[in-house]
Amino acid sequence: MAVAAAPFAAFVMDARTGKEIYSQNADTRLHPASLTKMMTLYLAFNAIERGQVRLDSKFLVSSHAASQPPSRLGLKAGQRIELRYLIRAAAVKSANDAATTIGEGLGGSEQQFAAQMNAMAKALGMRNTHFVNANGLTTEGHYSTARDLSTLGRRLFYDFPQYYSIFSRRSADAGIAKVSSTNKRFLDSYEGADGIKTGYTRAAGFNLTASAKRGSKRIIATVMGGNSTAHRNQVMAQLLDAGFGSASSTAREARPAPPEMLMVKKEVTRRVQVARVEPAAPVPAAANSAAVPQLSSSDRPAARASTAGIVTPAAIAAAVSRAREASASDGSRPHRKPGAPVATASTKGDQDMVATSPRPSSRPEGDAPTDAALPAQRPVPAPRRDERASLDAPKAASLFVLSAVAPAAATEDDAADVAAPTMALTASAAPAPRGDAIILASLDPVDTTDDEPAQVISRDTSGKGFGVTLGLFRSQAEAQQLLVRAALQESHALGNASSEVTTTKRGYEANFVGMSRDMAELACGRLMARQQSCNVIPR
């Protein structure tokens, strides 16, 4: 299907309830760029929770993954690298080679992983999304929407709160390099922002899904088709401000139910060998005295019971004890150190799940038994993670250890993309009241000399014969910014009106269309009260 090239779209929701606060072209299928990596990371977190892989599982880098264009971590074909580093690189730096390696390692191939991505998107209710690759580089048939990506951002927060802090990192150790966040500018400039992901390609424009918490409120929003990093961040700040101003301080949190795919329990087969003692046939008393060997006083009761044809716990215990002594004497089994835990199915379940768990001394450091290979060898299922281990523990070999190096200067690394089922949900802290005042950032005109002119997509407005015009402007970006600002200020008065930038010989006309006369006059009157000139026009 044809996907629109970088029109502007936006969606704002109350993360606590999932309720829509504001939308513009929110269901238009657009290029998501690196916002795709949110789904790649969602599936990686899911695989860890299900015990399919561990953070120290090593993934093999294929030539296809290593050849991905920037942004890149710099992986080499044939290299093996731990999953924790791949996650850091994909989430913080938005590295395409790392995301592709995750996809191939989990799915066996990028095509098979894309099928898993699409199945999960459907399970999460992302109705207008289809993935073709794991990193988001522009490909035919690869698309999503502002609404769907906001939904995915909310699911990352609620379904995997134990991993969510990776999205607020300004820098991270990715194993072979220290990486800086592509979202550092927004995280540093907007109060309460703690994620989530940036994206950029020439076809997509500048995209961002962001989450912020203030008081008891948490707002998640997505902007697609921004003209620059600054423009995108500026619009996002306005959208979040409007969201905090509109959201109720007393809204009741309604956590999303985990999707069906995550609730399917993995069948675990446990093979238990039980010692069996066959009852002996009764023996005459005369023969019995000759047949019974001389036993120690501790063994004699068990021997009498077995020769009488009755199996007792003491008989089984004695048999097991003699077997252990025999095997230990001939060296067929290693001796367990005093006080060491017996390796049973239950004790193994917590071992080696996270990087903070100790490895057996007989295994070399980093040589995990679940190393992933592509595509013939898939990661071997591993036990569930140890709930006692903290992913944020300082200096632990875990996913989210902060680099001791100071964060590098903010750079838009995403801009280099232009080259071309048991799951325990951990309770997350309720997001923190803020005043209802909306503080709008200044929207100064930005340079709009793009290689491809932006397109604006509007909804069908048949049957609505009036609109409101805000006037003519020198650039399309200036007109679009004023429309966003007005929509945020008077969302109730404008109702379901659509924004539209019309190109004329005299400049770019900023309009709201699809309104009745009464609605248009009311909206224009409220805008004029804010010192915004406008006129009611027939459409």
Same-domain pairing of 402 and 483: no
Same-domain pairing of 403 and 483: no
Q: Indicate if 37 belongs to the active site.
A: yes
Same-domain pairing of 187 and 56: yes
Give the least confident one: 204-218, 320-334, 343-357, 370-384.
343-357
Q: pLDDT at position 226, please?
A: 93
Mean pLDDT score, 487-513? 85
- Phi and psi for 8 in degrees, rounded to 5? -85, 135
In a domain, 405, yes or no: yes
Instruction: Among 418, 451, 485, give the residue marking a domain's end.
Output: 418
- Residue 183, pLDDT > 60, answer yes
Residue 129, phi-psi category: left (phi > 0), alpha (psi -120 to 50), beta (remainder): beta
Q: Which residues, 6+ apart, have CB-to-CB distance to 185 below 8 Å?
A: 229, 233, 410
Which among 23, 37, 144, 197 is annotated as catalytic?
A: 37
- Residue 169, pLDDT > 80, answer yes
pLDDT digits (tens, 9 = 90+) for 386-405: 333 333 433 333 333 333 33
Q: pLDDT at position 344, please?
A: 40
Mean pLDDT score, 291-303? 42
CATH code at 520? 3.30.70.1070
Residue 217, phi-psi category: left (phi > 0), alpha (psi -120 to 50), beta (remainder): beta
In angstroms, the CA 112 to CA 528 distance is: 55
Same-domain pairing of 505 and 414: no
Q: pLDDT at position 398, please?
A: 37
In angstroms, the CA 318 to CA 312 distance is: 10
pLDDT digits (tens, 9 = 90+) for 216-273: 999 999 999 999 999 999 999 999 999 999 999 999 999 998 887 654 444 434 444 4
In angstroms, the CA 493 to CA 133 distance is: 42
In angstroms, the CA 182 to CA 419 distance is: 17
In a domain, 48, yes or no: yes
CATH code at 37? 3.40.710.10
Q: pLDDT at position 318, please?
A: 63
- Residue 491, pLDDT > 80, answer no
- Residue 481, pLDDT > 50, answer yes
In a domain, 153, yes or no: yes
Mean pLDDT score, 330-346? 43
Same-domain pairing of 36 and 161: yes
Instruction: Report yes or no: 147 and 27 within 8 Å, Cβ to Cβ.
Output: yes
Q: pLDDT at position 490, please?
A: 82
Mean pLDDT score, 139-155? 97
pLDDT confidence tier of residue 85, bands split at 50, 70 and 90 = very high
In a domain, 293, yes or no: no
Q: Indicate if 34 belongs to the active site.
A: yes
Task: Print the SS3 string covering 416-430.
Answer: HHHCCCCCCCCCCCC
Same-domain pairing of 71 and 135: yes
Instruction: Report yes or no: 426 and 385 within 8 Å, Cβ to Cβ.
Output: no
Q: pLDDT at position 192, please?
A: 95
C-alpha 415, offset from chain centre: 21
Instruction: Among 418, 450, 485, give the residue marking a domain's end.
Output: 418
Q: Please report, for residues 267, 281, 309, 310, the alpha-carbon distance to residue 278 in angstroms, rounded to integers and kept in the order given.
A: 33, 10, 8, 9
Same-domain pairing of 111 and 228: yes
C-alpha 123, offset from chain centre: 15
In a domain, 287, yes or no: no
Same-domain pairing of 160 and 28: yes
pLDDT digits (tens, 9 = 90+) for 97-106: 999 999 999 9
Instruction: Give residue 238's domain range.
Output: 9-265+397-418
Same-domain pairing of 55 and 154: yes
Please tell me which residue, 89 or 444, carries the higher pLDDT value.
Answer: 89
Q: pLDDT at position 421, please?
A: 36
Q: pLDDT at position 108, please?
A: 95
Catalogue the E-assigned strands of 482-532. Answer: 498-504, 507-515
Mean of the per-residue pLDDT values for the chain? 74
Show the tokens assigned to 6: 């970088």
Q: Please report, for residues 124, 143, 149, 394, 513, the alpha-carbon distance to residue 28 in angstroms, rounded to integers and kept in the order given.
A: 18, 9, 12, 43, 18
In a domain, 391, yes or no: no
Pick from 219, 263, 260, 257: nearest CA to 241? 219
Q: Which residues, 6+ apart, have CB-to-CB distance to 188 below 8 Å?
A: 170, 410
- Residue 177, pLDDT > 80, answer yes
Residue 521: CB atoms within 10 Å: 14
Instruction: Report yes or no: 256 and 158 within 8 Å, Cβ to Cβ.
Output: yes
Please tell me which residue, 15 or 447, carries the higher pLDDT value.
Answer: 15
| Identity of the highest mean pLDDT range in 87-101, 271-285, 349-363, 507-521 | 87-101
Mean pLDDT score, 312-320? 56
In a domain, 317, yes or no: no
Same-domain pairing of 222 and 150: yes
Give the least confident one: 6-20, 487-501, 506-520.
487-501
Give the number of domains in the chain.
2
Which among 57, 62, 71, 94 is annotated as catalytic?
A: 94
- Residue 303, pLDDT > 70, answer no
In a domain, 207, yes or no: yes
Q: Global pTM? A: 0.57
Instruction: Report yes or no: 83 and 57 within 8 Å, Cβ to Cβ.
Output: yes
In angstroms, the CA 231 to CA 527 distance is: 23
In angstroms, the CA 212 to CA 16 distance is: 12
Q: pLDDT at position 83, please?
A: 97
- Residue 170, pLDDT > 70, answer yes
pLDDT confidence tier of residue 131, bands split at 50, 70 and 90 = very high
Instruction: Report yes or no: 391 and 379 within 8 Å, Cβ to Cβ.
Output: no
Percent of the chain beyond pLDDT 90? 48
Tell me the CB-side half-sphere exposure of residue 66, using CA atoms within 13 A: 13
Tell me the CB-side half-sphere exposure of residue 207, using CA atoms within 13 A: 38
- Residue 447, pLDDT > 50, answer no
